[in-house]
């Protein structure tokens, strides 16, 4: 969810919107402006209907946000911090710092989202009932919002991982067999089955309603990829759960003195050794990293007069890990910090470097060895 923009914080949770949400906002606005509002308010001008449609889309946006915030609140209260929420084309995702370690906790975090959407559906249904005969237009809009929120709850309760219903299903299987990975595999397979069913239904529906059919095809495709990807991610994390940065890091890393010029670094090191990252050592201590990205920030005409010390990223601005950091946490730090390598620090000493390539190579090797190991 890198292609998103931030809206702010709610209860300490950063809220972001993926660019794809603009598509949903436009669809909801259009459907109300050219559909529901035409029916109830034919006397309104086109600009008024579109403004009204945009307002209703904003209410729908708030409903989806409330759904995701409920996950975040329950997760935070149970010691699983949620740092951010991202709303995207198919709904939203609360970015947990780690997965629940108990099936009961998984159930509580998962079920609260659909319950929140169902409650919002009930609120709008009550408003519809209260306003019938008083203001048919507003009551009709409330009825549509009640239907949307109820549909959101029902869809999310489909027992396919990683939907909320899939997580509830996984928690039940997990509680029964006491194996989270096996439970995830079962829930992911069910999720893939539901995804294929949605795609088949979407394909058939295109003959009647092209837009709705394509929409179901997209949802099915997304769910299929998400199901397979979620299981794959957990399988990898399970395989490397006990592995630390010290097990994977490279202790042979390139060092450069702080007074070396950027031009020397490029000509004598980068172009000859094909390395992109160097540790800058000053008086025997680790001062920072100078990377290809740092070099590119320096104007070409200043390379000869600029030292790597001035061009580097200092230690204080770097994300670092201890040798005892687990590999899943190393991957999360790389992902959240959008970095390709991390210095491994012991006290004030640089003891190694770990890169994405190191981690990927280790995972591939482990999986190859595990698959080649004969069953006992």
Residues designated as active site: 68
Q: Contact 106/2 with Cβ under 8 angstroms?
A: no
Backbone conformation region of residue 276, classed left if phi is above 0, alpha if psi is from -120 to 50, else beta? alpha
Q: Would you state the structure tokens that stand for residue 231, as one six-digit string?
A: 């299981």
Q: Contact 169/156 with Cβ under 8 angstroms?
A: no
* DSSP state string for 201-255: HHHHHTTT-HHHHHHHHHHHHHHHHHHHHHHHHHHHHHHTTT-BHHHH-BS---E
Q: Contact 104/175 with Cβ under 8 angstroms?
A: yes
Angle at 180 between CA 175 and CA 183, to 5 degrees: 75
Residues in CB range of 35: below 8 A, 6 or more apart: none
d(CA 278, CA 255): 6
């Amino acid at each position: 969810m890198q292609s998103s923009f931030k809206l702010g914080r709610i209860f300490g949770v950063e809220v972001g919107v993926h660019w794809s949400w603009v598509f949903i906002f436009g669809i909801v606005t259009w459907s109300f402006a050219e559909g529901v509002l035409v029916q109830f308010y034919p006397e309104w001008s086109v600009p008024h209907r579109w403004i009204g449609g945009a307002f209703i889309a904003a209410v729908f946006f708030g409903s989806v946000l409330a759904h995701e915030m409920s996950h975040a609140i329950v997760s935070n209260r149970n010691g699983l911090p949620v740092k951010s929420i991202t709303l995207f084309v198919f709904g939203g995702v609360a970015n947990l710092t780690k997965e629940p370690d108990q099936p009961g906790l998984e159930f509580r975090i998962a079920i609260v989202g659909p319950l929140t959407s169902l409650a919002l559906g009930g609120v709008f249904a009550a408003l519809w009932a209260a306003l019938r005969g008083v203001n048919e237009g507003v009551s009709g809009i409330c009825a549509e919002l009640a239907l949307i929120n109820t549909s959101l709850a029902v869809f999310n309760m489909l027992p396919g991982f990683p939907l909320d219903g899939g997580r509830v299903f996984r928690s039940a299987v997990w509680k029964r067999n006491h194996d989270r990975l096996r439970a995830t595999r079962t829930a992911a397979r069910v999720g893939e089955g539901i995804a294929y069913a949605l795609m088949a239904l979407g394909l058939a529906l295109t003959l009647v309603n092209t837009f709705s059919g394509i929409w179901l095809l997209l949802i099915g495709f997304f769910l299929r990829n998400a199901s397979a990807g979620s299981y794959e991610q957990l399988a990898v994390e399970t395989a490397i759960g006990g592995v630390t940065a010290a097990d994977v890091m490279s202790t042979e890393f390139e060092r450069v003195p702080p007074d070396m010029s950027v031009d020397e670094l490029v000509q004598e090191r980068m172009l000859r050794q094909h390395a992109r990252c160097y540790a800058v050592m000053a008086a025997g201590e680790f001062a920072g990293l100078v990377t290809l990205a740092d070099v590119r920030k320096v104007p070409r005409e200043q390379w000869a007069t600029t030292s790597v010390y001035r061009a580097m990223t200092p230690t204080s601005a770097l994300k670092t890990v201890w040798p005892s950091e687990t590999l899943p946490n190393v991957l999360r730090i790389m992902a959240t910090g959008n970095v390709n390598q991390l210095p491994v620090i012991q006290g004030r000493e640089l003891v190694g470097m770990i890169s994405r390539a190191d981690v990927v190579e280790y995972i591939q090797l482990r999986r190859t060895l595990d698959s080649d190991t004969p069953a006992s």
